[in-house]
Structure 1
Amino acid sequence: MKNIIFLLIINFCFASLVHSQNNVNSKDFSKEKTITKIILVRHAEKEKDGTKNPALSIEGEERAKKLAFMLNDFSIDRLYATPYLRTQKTLGVISDEKKIEITNYDARDVEFAKNIVKKEQGKIIVIAGHSNTIPALVNQFIGSYKYKELSEEEYGKLWIITFVNNELVDCSLFNY
């Protein structure tokens, strides 16, 4: 049953991306289209070992594999994660499979979202963060306070934000 639900979610995710791409194609932009996709996730489930830098739990390792599977067909250009073990390991499977180094970022950097949109134009990037930082980062990207902090038990949210010529055209939220 879990596999069927997972496959339905993946199909919905890709259908939404196709819809998003069609919306992008239907808009009239005066200059050449530069499409940027930013995919944001909270780190996967962590070990409850009482440390400040725990590794992923077995469930977290499985979720990291699911994430890599879901994003396998994307031509990912860059990976960003905070310097914590749990965010690094969440993107580790993607990093290993696609041979892309993970770049550390500071979740407290209030200019990060603005700088990423400029710096990574025309690319697909994935960003891993935390229950409080990823919703806040999504809000910065979309220029609106729409998403609140995730609970400590929420791990399976994924946002895909699309910009065309640095203009926001879509923000979709998925559960995986």
Structure 2
Amino acid sequence: MNYKWLSVLLVTIGLSACSTSTVFIVRHGEKVSEADTTSLSAVGFERAQALADRLEDERISRILTTPTRRTQQTAGPLSRHLNLPIESYPAKPVGAVVEMVQQTKGRNILVVGHSNTILEIAQGLGTKPSKAKIESEDFDNLLVVKLKRGLFGKSVRLEEETYGKPTPP
């Protein structure tokens, strides 16, 4: 028996089981008002562009948003810049988007959600964000989840950043 070929085969199979994905999770940009929550304000559109500028070199290959206009508008500049479609996921339960992310192995993903879902999404991926709640006026959180899958299990790491200019009072 040729053990060299068996070793090569096992290494090839093992390497194909390994993958690293980075998931960027954000809340949509600033809304027009509490009376009109369907669209982004001018500041929200500026934030959406700041997000595209921040992520343009991150090798994003999939963009996921809820079906709301404001999440799609937040992802729009990056989608256009990278020529990627925006895929929709249901806002609740967050398990649906967590499953979509976990099935996307070896690719970087942008997930745009809402103040009441982004922390839960990060937790569903196995992290423990430092914040317990995203406040209604808080739009600049960028949760970066690194998922590494290898022969001997997986590791998950969370980095918490902010992006764009602070929201004016």
TM (norm. structure 2) is 0.79
Task: Work out which of the two has the higher radius of gyration on C-alpha atoms and give 1 or 2.
Answer: 2
Q: Does structure 1 conserve the Cα–Cα contact (< 8 Å) formed by 2:127 and 2:158?
A: no
Partner of 1:171: 158
Q: Does structure 2 conserve the Cα–Cα contact (< 8 Å) formed by 1:161 and 1:168?
A: no
Question: Aligned-residue CA RMSD in angstroms?
Answer: 2.0
In 1: Cα distance, 2:35 partner to 2:108 partner: 35
User: Which structure has the highest strand share of the two?
Assistant: 2
Q: Which amino acid aligns with 2:93?
A: D
Question: Could you list the runs of 5+ residues in structure 1 that have no partner in the other structure?
Answer: 1-30
Partner of 2:67: 83
TM (norm. structure 1) is 0.76
**1:120 CA displacement:** 0.5
1:109–1:86: structure 2 CA closer, same or farther, 3 Å change rule? same
Instruction: List aligned pairs for 1:107-146, cutoff 5 A.
Output: 107-142=91-126, 144=128
Instruction: List aligned pairs for 1:1-176, cutoff 5 A.
Output: 31-32=14-15, 33-48=18-33, 50-51=35-36, 53-142=37-126, 144=128, 147-165=131-149, 167-176=154-163
Question: Which 4+ runs in 1 deviate beyond 4 A?
Answer: 143-146
C-alpha distance after superposition, 1:31-59 (max 9, x if no partner): 423101111000011101613x4211111
Sequence identity (%): 29
Size of the alignment, in residue pairs? 146
1:145–1:63: structure 2 CA closer, same or farther, 3 Å change rule? closer
In 1: Cα distance, 2:162 partner to 2:127 partner: 22
